[in-house]
Amino acid sequence: MPDPSSISRYEDISNSARGRIAASHRGKRRVIVQVGHCGASVGAADIVPAISERFGDAVSVTVSGCDGGCFAAPTVLVETPGADCVRIERVSSSDLDPLADALASDSPSGAPTESEAFIASQHRIALDGCGTLDAESIDGYLVGGGYSALARALDAGEDWVIQEMKNSRLRGRGGAYFPAGLKWESARGFASAQRYMIANCEEGEPGLFKDRHLMEGVPHRVIEGALIGAFATGASKVVFYINAEANVSAARMEAAIQQAEDIGLIGEGVLGSAFDVSAEIRRGAGGYVCGDETTLLNTLEGYRREPRLKPPFPTESGLWGQPTVINNAETLASVPFIVNEGADEFAAIGDGQDTGTKIINLSGSVRRPGLIEVPFGATLREIVHGAGGGPPHGRALKMVGVGGPSSGALPASMLDTPIKPGYLHESGVMLGAGGVIAIDDSMSARAVVRNLARYNANESCGKCTPCREGTPRMVEMLDALADGRASSSDVDELTKLARLVNAASLCGLGQAAGNPVLSGLHFFGEELAE
């Protein structure tokens, strides 16, 4: 039987949080203001002081992150005991009358909103509670069962945790989809007095904003997943590597780490166990290539943002030459569910082969852009038309960019393609980290492919010759096609060059830099050569 000491100490902490919340909300209606980087750009942060000024102590105001319905921001929720939660969208700090109407009723009922269909289409694990949990306090997360997975892991032991991770078949959600359990097991297998756990929250790829939402809305879930990973792998230090421009995310994570330290969830003897761990935030150096594991390590050590040769892999020789596990924020946010609910429960979600859910960053020509979480096996049609509502009126969907500049675009005729780890089509289109951009008939395929190719050329670190020289040359050849200066033999040369760049480059950026060109020529070759 496991020693129940960690669970008992966790229950004491959770009960204390429950008492603090009850005291702060007693006799007051709870108003939740969703303030994420998306909502802040349209005035969400101004709503909080405006509510306090107008309603005073009559309401209890909670700041949360965005629940993914970015199209409806700023969003305010009104909670009333015994009644449905009322959702008010596109709120302005200068017009709080809709909120006043909801607060004036003992049993308010909000009008149907676009977000209902948007949220109903999802299966949330990593994003669970995002948009309703207090993003600035640990108490709400604790009362909802937060950090109970850490307590359970501490009592069950490292071997049990790693085995559950392996049984769950959770793959990394940063784009490479390497089995997380095997990575943890590998790092623990190397003898070392020091190991590191790094949460990769750099997210420098255009069209991606999932990790920001997680850090802004459920920061403690990302932290809990990282702490469980550190315990299982024997790491004594956790580093959260956050994009230099993600200021809201960094602020929320910094506050959350301090809160966890204050109540003994980070530090010496976590929850009465023998597990000692510290945590810190480091800001990313900027650039798409920093998402690569070894480039990230170089920047942490003060070197140029360039990839390292592999092997050795980071699990053997990572930060400062010590065994290091690097997991994406979304990967870590799935870990508490696996530990609490069981590997079998997680593995039952998905298409039978690929387990769990995937967060999709939906943008472009859709009526409801934002962030959604769906099981593997969901189709692009369900994402673009179901959750996203399809293109705006008067526009027809032409293609769907999937996976960002390391991938390409699928034509609208392939909307029934299910999402899965790795390649969605042999031409080079892959899911990657989960960016989905709907592109309507106002855009040319030529412009799309060139923009992706140009981005890769600009972001090349320049270390290896194939990527440094090959990516700008592909842009030049695409321009020659557009200007009518190319022949059919030039198209063949462009294809060969794209394949060469993919095959001979050093890191993940270069190894996928040819994909937009290859997939573009495959699906839209005639338009590119017109």
SS3 61: strand
Mean pLDDT by 10 residues, the chain (530 residues): 73 95 87 96 96 93 96 94 87 94 80 81 95 96 97 97 98 95 96 95 92 98 98 98 95 98 97 97 88 93 92 95 98 98 97 96 96 98 95 92 94 97 95 96 93 94 95 94 81 94 94 95 87
Can you list the positions of beta strands (E) in 403-492? Answer: 408-411, 435-440
Give pLDDT, residue 4: 58
Q: How far apart are CA 453 and CA 512, in angstroms?
A: 10
Query: 267 has which bridge partners?
Result: 277
User: How many CB atoms are closer than 10 A to CB 414?
Assistant: 18
- The total of other beta-carbon atoms located within 10 Å of residue 421's CB is 20
Q: What is the amino acid identity at position 279?
A: A
| C-alpha distance across the termini of the chain, in Å | 71
What gap in Å lies between CA 234 and CA 236, rounded to an integer? 6
Q: Where are the domains of the chain?
A: 24-120, 139-347, 378-530
pLDDT at residue 484, rounded to an integer: 79
Burial of residue 216, with CB atoms counted within 10 A of its CB: 0-12 exposed, 13-18 middle, 19 or more buried = buried
Distance CA 131, CA 206 (A): 23
Asked whether 103 and 354 are in contact (CB, 8 A), the reply is: no
Measuring CA to CA, which residue among 349, 327, 14 is closest to residue 149? 14
CA 435/CA 63 separation, integer angstroms: 27
96: closest CA among 40, 64, 56? 56
Q: How buried is residue 167: exposed, middle or buried, by Cβ count under 10 Å (0-12/13-18/19+)?
A: middle
Distance CA(95)–CA(63), nearest Å, equals: 19
CA–CA distance, 194 with 198 (Å, rounded to integer): 13
Residue the block writes with tokens 């650039």: 287
Domain at 24-120, CATH homologous superfamily: Glutaredoxin (3.40.30.10)
**What token pair was written down for 92?**
């302005």
Could you tell me which residues are beta bridge partners of residue 361?
A: 371, 435
What's 378-530's CATH class? mainly alpha
The separation between CA 414 and the C-alpha centre of its own chain, rounded to angstroms, equals 25
- State the SS3 of 88-126: ECCCECCECHHHHHHHHCCCCCCCCCCHHHHHHCCCCCC
Q: Which helix (H) or strand (E) holds 116?
A: helix 115-120
Q: Cβ–Cβ contacts within 10 Å for residue 390, how many?
A: 18
Q: Is the peptide bond before 312 cis (omega within 30 degrees of 0)?
A: yes
Task: Supply the pLDDT for residue 2.
Answer: 43
Work out the angle at residue 390's Cα, subtended by the Cα atoms of residues 36 and 427, and round it to the nearest 5 degrees: 95
24 with 53: CB under 8 angstroms? no
> Quick one: which H or E segment has residue 164?
helix 158-168
Q: Is the peptide bond prior to 311 cis by the omega test (within 30 degrees of 0)?
A: yes
Superfamily of domain 139-347: NADH-ubiquinone oxidoreductase 51kDa subunit (3.40.50.11540)
Residue with tokens 């990282």: 226
Supply 382's token pair: 């369900």
Q: Phi and psi dihedrals of 315, rounded to 5?
A: -65, -20
Q: Which of 445, 438, 431 is nearest to 512 (CA)?
A: 431
d(CA 77, CA 525): 48
